[in-house]
Chains A and B, each alone.
Chain A
Amino acid sequence: MNKITETLLRIVSEYDGDFKGAFNIREDGGCAGRQSTENVKIESKADKPGLEIHIKPGTKGEKISIPACVTRGNVDDLVYNDFFVGEGADVTIVAGCGVHTDSDEEARHNGIHRFFLEKGSRVLYTEKHIGTGSGTGAKRIDPVTEVNLAEDAVLEMDTVQIKGVDSTIRKTTGTLAARAKLIVRERIMTDGEEQAQTDFDVVLAGEDSGADLVSRSVARGHSHQVFNSCIRGENRCTGHSECDAILAEEGTVSASPSLEASHVDAELIHEAAIGKIAGEQILKLRTLGLTEEEAEERIISGFLK
C-alpha cells in the first residue's frame, strides 16, 4: 500500500501497522491486502467490484476490517460489499474510508454495503470517514447501506464523518424481522462549503422489532446538511429517531423526520433540535477557566464524541 493509504488507515480503521483477524484493504479501486480466517471468508465478487464476506454461524469476538482509501484525484471507486453473518455470530466490522487528492480532480468512494444478519447474530459496525489533501478536487464519499435483520439479530452502527469530505450522500435502508434491533449512532462534521445528506428508511416489519437512530451534526462555515429519516412501524414495535444539530458561523441544517405507523401497537418517536451552541454552555465552561474558543471546541468535540 502507498503512504497516503497508510496514513488514512491509521485515522479511519484502528490500523497500527497491522490488522488483526480478517481484513481487506481497498486502495484506489484495487486490493492492497487481504486475509481470511477460519471463521471469516473474504472473497472477490465474480460479477462486479467488491467482496463477499461470509462469517460462520457462532463466530464470537472476531474483528473484520474492510477499509477503503482513495489516494489521488480522478478516481471514482465503486464497490459492492455483501456481509453474510451466520446464526448466533457476534463480531465487529471496522469499515473506515478516506479520500485524498492533491490535484484539481475529484476523488470519490462509493461503497454499497449489504448486510444479511441471520437469526440471533450481532454486529457492531464502525465507520469513520475523512477527506484529506491539498487539491481543489472534490472529495466525495457516498455510502449506501442495506440492512436485512433476521429474528433476534442486532446491528449497531457507529459512524463518524470526521472532516474534509466535500460532499456526501449517506443512504441507509433496513428491514427488521421479529425482535431484531437496529441501533445507529451517526456524527457528522461539515465546514467550509461542504454538503452532507443523510437518508434513513427503516421498516419495522417483525413483532417487537426496534430501531434507534441518533444523528448528531455540526455545520460550520457555509456548510449545509440535510437529515431525512423515515421509520415505518408495520407491527408491534418501537422506533426512535433523534436529530441534533449545532450551527456555527453560517452553517445550515434541514431536518425532515417522518414516522409511519400501520399497526396499532407501533410506538414511534422522533426528536429534533437545531441551534447554535447555547450561551450558558459557553459561560459555564468559562467559569471553569476555558476561553470562549476553547469552550466552543470542547462542546463540539463532546457533542460529536
Chain B
Amino acid sequence: MLRLEHIAWELPDGEEIIRDIDLSIGSGKLVVVTGPNGGGKTTLAKLIAGIVKPASGRILLEGEDITGCDVTERAKRGIAYAFQQPVKFKGLTVRDLLDLAAGGGLSEPAVCGLLGKVGLCAEEYIDRELSAALSGGESKRIEIASVLARNAKLSIFDEPEAGIDLWSFTRLVETFQELQAEQKGTLLVISHQERILSIADEIVVIADGRVKNSGTRDEILPTLLSEERTIRCPHGKEDICHE
C-alpha cells in the first residue's frame, strides 16, 4: 500500500540524513521501524507524512504518487501521524482534538472508547484542556488516541512508548494487536521496544539513513536481539560483565 522509491533527504548544510531508501509496506501489516538513535527513523516517518519533502525519490500510496502532496493532502488521503513530542493547545480540549481527528461528529461514547484504548479514564480527561497541565505521559497517550480516531489507511506512531508508564504501555501494545487483528489499516511504528518488535509482522532496521535490514519478525528479531546482547556485553558472558 505504501512504496518509497530512492528517497533521500538532507539538512540545509548538505548532511545526508536519508540515503536512497527503497521500501514497500503491505496493506494491513504492523511494520516496526527500528535502529540506532540518529539513524533517520523519525525523518523517514516525517517524509511519509509530508512534514518534510524528499530531496529526491518518489512516495506512492496505493499506487498513486503523493510525493508532491502536502501534509493536509496526505492526511486527507489517509495518512495519520502521531508526533513523538505531543503538541499543547490552550483552549482545545481532549474531546475537541479527538473530534477534529475523526472529522467531526464523534459521540461521547466513541471519545471514551478511544481514551480507553490508550489507558486513560475518559471521565477524568474528556474535557481537559491540552495545556501544560497535562503530564508528558498523558499528552502522549492523547496524541496516540488522536491518531486512532482517524481510522486511517496508514497510521504512523513515532516512539509511542516514550514517556508512558508500564501499565499504559501494556494497554497500548494490546491496542496495536487489536488493530493488527482487525486489519483495518496499516500501522507503521517507530520503536526500540522488544514488546512492540515481538508483535510486528515486519521489521525494518534503519541505520545511518539507510535500510540496513528488513524482513519478517522471525527473520529480523533474533539477529537484532543477538546484536543488542553483544553491544550490552562485549565479552559474551553476562556474568563477567556484571562483576
* 1/0 contact string of A147-161 vs chain B (CB within 8 Å): 000000000000000
* CB <8 Å contact, B72 and A289: yes
Best-buried of B51, B72, B76, B101 by chain A (most CB within 10 Å): B72
Minimal Cβ-Cβ distance residue in A for B72: A286
* 1/0 contact string of B57-76 vs chain A (CB within 8 Å): 00000000000001110011
Best-buried of A285, A291, A292, A299 by chain B (most CB within 10 Å): A285
- Indicate if A304 sits at the interface (CB-CB under 8 A): yes
**Interfacial chain B residues near A304, Cβ < 8 Å:** 91
What are 10 A-B contacts with C-beta separation under 8 Å? A244-B90, A281-B87, A283-B71, A283-B87, A286-B71, A289-B75, A289-B76, A289-B103, A302-B96, A303-B91
* CB <8 Å contact, A285 and B100: yes
In A282-299, the 8 Å CB interface with B consists of 283-292, 298-299
- Indicate if A305 sits at the interface (CB-CB under 8 A): yes
Q: Which residue of the partner chain, among B80, B87, B89, B100, contacts A290 with CB atoms under 8 Å? A: B100
* CB <8 Å contact, A287 and B91: no
* CB <8 Å contact, B90 and A286: no
Best-buried of A289, A291, A303 by chain B (most CB within 10 Å): A289
* Whole-angstrom CA separation of A289 from B81 in the bound complex: 11
* CB <8 Å contact, B81 and A287: yes
**Interfacial chain A residues near B96, Cβ < 8 Å:** 302
- Indicate if B92 sits at the interface (CB-CB under 8 A): yes
* CB <8 Å contact, A288 and B100: yes
**Total A-B contacts with CB atoms under 8 angstroms apart:** 52
* CB <8 Å contact, B91 and A284: no
* 1/0 contact string of A262-280 vs chain B (CB within 8 Å): 0000000000000000101
In B32-89, the 8 Å CB interface with A consists of 49, 51, 70-72, 75-76, 80-81, 83, 87, 89
* Whole-angstrom CA separation of A73 from B58 in the bound complex: 62
**Interfacial chain A residues near B100, Cβ < 8 Å:** 285, 288, 290, 298
Given contacts A284-B83, A285-B100, A288-B146, contact A302 B89 (CB under 8 A): yes
Question: What is the minimal beta-carbon distance from B122 to any residue of chain A, in angstroms?
Answer: 20
Question: What is the minimal beta-carbon distance from B159 to any residue of chain A, in angstroms?
Answer: 16
Given contacts A288-B75, A289-B76, contact A280 B90 (CB under 8 A): no
Minimal Cβ-Cβ distance residue in B for A287: B81
Best-buried of B87, B96, B146 by chain A (most CB within 10 Å): B87
Q: Which residue of the partner chain, among B49, B90, B103, contacts A287 with CB atoms under 8 Å? A: B49
**Interfacial chain B residues near A283, Cβ < 8 Å:** 51, 71, 87
Minimal Cβ-Cβ distance residue in B for A298: B100
* CB <8 Å contact, A287 and B75: yes
**Interfacial chain A residues near B49, Cβ < 8 Å:** 287
Q: Which 7 A-B pairs have the closest CB atoms?
A: A302-B91, A303-B91, A289-B75, A302-B92, A284-B87, A286-B71, A287-B81
* CB <8 Å contact, B75 and A305: no
Question: What is the minimal beta-carbon distance from B225 to any residue of chain A, in angstroms?
Answer: 33
* Whole-angstrom CA separation of A302 from B150 in the bound complex: 20
Q: Which residue of the partner chain, among A216, A281, A289, A292, contacts B89 with CB atoms under 8 Å? A: A281
* CB <8 Å contact, A216 and B71: no
Minimal Cβ-Cβ distance residue in A for B143: A284
In A200-249, the 8 Å CB interface with B consists of 216, 244
**Interfacial chain B residues near A288, Cβ < 8 Å:** 75, 100-101, 146, 150
* Whole-angstrom CA separation of A289 from B149 in the bound complex: 12
Question: What is the minimal beta-carbon distance from B98 to any residue of chain A, in angstroms?
Answer: 10
* Whole-angstrom CA separation of A269 from B22 in the bound complex: 55
**Interfacial chain A residues near B150, Cβ < 8 Å:** 288
In A37-58, the 8 Å CB interface with B consists of none
Q: Which residue of the partner chain, among A292, A298, A299, A305, contacts B72 with CB atoms under 8 Å? A: A292
* CB <8 Å contact, A280 and B71: no
Minimal Cβ-Cβ distance residue in A for B131: A244
**Interfacial chain A residues near B92, Cβ < 8 Å:** 298-299, 302
Given contacts A286-B71, A289-B76, A291-B72, contact A305 B101 (CB under 8 A): no
Best-buried of A280, A284, A304, A305 by chain B (most CB within 10 Å): A284
* Whole-angstrom CA separation of A52 from B159 in the bound complex: 62
Minimal Cβ-Cβ distance residue in A for B96: A302
* Whole-angstrom CA separation of A283 from B150 in the bound complex: 16
* Whole-angstrom CA separation of A287 from B87 in the bound complex: 12
Given contact pairs A284-B83, A286-B72, A289-B76, enumerate 14 new A-B contacts (beta carbons under 8 Å).
A280-B83, A280-B87, A286-B75, A287-B51, A287-B81, A288-B101, A288-B146, A289-B103, A290-B100, A302-B89, A302-B92, A302-B96, A303-B91, A304-B91
* Whole-angstrom CA separation of A276 from B48 in the bound complex: 28
Minimal Cβ-Cβ distance residue in B for A277: B89
